[in-house]
Structure 1
Amino acid sequence: MFAKKKDTAAPLALTPLDQGRAAAPQAQPAAPAPARPKPASMFSQGLTVRGDIVGDVEVHLDCVVLGDIKVGKLIVGPNARVEGSVIAQAIEIHGLVIGAVTAQAVRLYGTARVDGDITHEQLAMETGAEFQGRSLKFRRPAPAQPQPQPAQPQAHVQPAPQPAPTAPPSASQTPYSQVAH
C-alpha cells in the first residue's frame, strides 16, 4: 500500500561564502546562555484548588486553595484565601491564610489576615495586618562544641578486693530436707 522512496536528491552545493566558513576552524564553543529565571505560576481569582500545591517555584495566588502549600516563594494576593499549612522560603501575604505559616521571611501587608502560628526568621507586618496565633522564631542549632580533654591522664583505679570464698556448709548447717535419717 505504502512504499518507502529513497531520497535521490543531490547534496546541496556550497556557495563560495559557505565554503570559507566551512574551512575556517571554530574558535570557541558557544558559552552556555545564563539560566533564565522561572516565571511565577499564577492562579487567578475565580479558581478553587482542592489539594496540595508542591514545587520549588514562585507561586502567586489570587484564588481559593483548600490544601497545603510547599513552594519556593509564595505571594498570597488580596483576593486569595488559603485553608491549610503554608511552607516556603519567602512568603508575602495580602489576603487570608487559615493555617500554620512557615518561612525564613514572612511579610504581612495591610490587607493580610492570618489565623495560625507563624514560624519565621524574619517577620514584617504593615499597619492594618491582622494576625491571630503565635510568632515562633526558627531555632538554629548551636554549633557542636568539642568535648574538653582532661589536662592529666586519669590515675589507674584498682578494683576493690573481693571477699574470700567461704567453705561449704557443715552437716549442722545443712537444711533439714538434706539430712539422712
Structure 2
Amino acid sequence: MFNKTNTPRPAAQPIPPLPDLPTAGRSVSAPTPAPSPVASSRGLSTLSSDLSFEGVISGAGDLQVDGAIKGDVRVGRLIVGETGAIEGNVAADYLEVRGRIVGAVTGKQVKLISTAYLDGDITAEQLSIDVGAYFQGRVLQSRRDVPASAPPARPAPAPVAPEPAPQVIEMKPV
C-alpha cells in the first residue's frame, strides 16, 4: 500500500537559538522594557521608587517619578508612576498621573489614570480623567496663547467728526 523509499535527506541546517532562550556558555539578560510612548530622543530621566528628593526640579526634558518629591516640578513631559508622589506645584506640557500629587497642576495635556490621586487645581488645554481616579480641586481650561508678533485684532475706534461751529441765525419779526 505505502511504499517507503530510502532517499537521502539533505543535511539538517542548525537552527540559531532564540534570543531569549539560554544556550551553553551564554547568559540571559533581563528583557529590556519597551520605551515609554512619551519618551523622546532626549531620553527619559527617572527618579526610582527608593529615592526621595526635596527641592525644585526644572528643565525641558522628560521625567518619570516613581519616588517622592517635595517641591515644585517644571519639565517638558512628566509621568508620575503608581509609586510616585509629588508634594508641590507641577507644570509640564504633557502630564500623566498614575500616582499621587498634592498641589496645583498646569499643562497642555493632563491625563489622570485610574490609579491617580490629585489634590489641587488643574489648569490644562486638554484633560482626561479615567474612571477610578481621585481628584479634588478646580479645573480651569486654558487656551493656546496667541503669538506675541500677532496681537489680537481690536476693532478700530470710530472716527470722531469735529463738531460744527455753532451757527447764529437772526430772526426778525414780520
TM-score range, shorter chain: 0.5 to 0.7
Q: Calculate the TM-score normalised by the size of structure 2.
A: 0.65
TM-fit CA distance, 1:146? 3.4
Q: Which has the larger radius of gyration?
A: 1
Instruction: Deviation per CA, 1:52-107: give whole Å up to 9, x if none.
Output: 11110000010000000000000000001100000000100000000000000000
Task: Say whether residues 1:144 and 2:152 are aligned partners.
Answer: yes
Alpha-carbon RMSD across the aligned residues, in angstroms, is 2.2
Q: Counting strand residues as a fraction of each chain, which structure ranks higher?
A: 2
Q: Distance in 1 between matches of 2:85 and 2:61?
A: 20
Which residue, 34, 40, 44 being the options, matches 1:40? 44
Instruction: Deviation per CA, 1:7-33: give whole Å up to 9, x if none.
Output: xxxxxxxxxxxxxxxxxxxxxxxxxxx
Query: Which stretches in structure 2 are left out of the alignment for 5+ residues?
Result: 1-39, 167-174
Which residue, 73, 76, 81 being the options, matches 2:80? 76
Q: Distance in 2 between matches of 1:87 and 1:124?
A: 16
- The letter of the residue matching 2:125 is E
For 2:8, the equivalent position in structure 1 comes to none
141 and 79 in structure 1: CA distance in 2 versus 1, 3 angstrom threshold: closer
For 1:99, the equivalent position in structure 2 comes to 103
Q: Calculate the TM-score normalised by the size of structure 1.
A: 0.62
150 and 134 in structure 1: CA distance in 2 versus 1, 3 angstrom threshold: closer
TM-fit CA distance, 1:37? 1.2
Which is further off, 77-86 or 130-139?
130-139
Q: Distance in 2 between matches of 1:149 and 1:134?
A: 38
Task: Say whether residues 1:58 and 2:62 are aligned partners.
Answer: yes
Aligned-partner SS, 2:154: coil
Query: Which stretches in structure 1 are left out of the alignment for 5+ residues?
Result: 1-35, 160-181
Q: Counting helix residues as a fraction of each chain, which structure ranks higher?
A: 1
The alignment of Structure 1 onto Structure 2 pairs a total of residues equal to 123
Taking every aligned residue pair, what percent have the same amino acid on both sides? 39
Q: Distance in 1 between matches of 2:138 and 2:52?
A: 28
Task: Say whether residues 1:111 and 2:115 are aligned partners.
Answer: yes
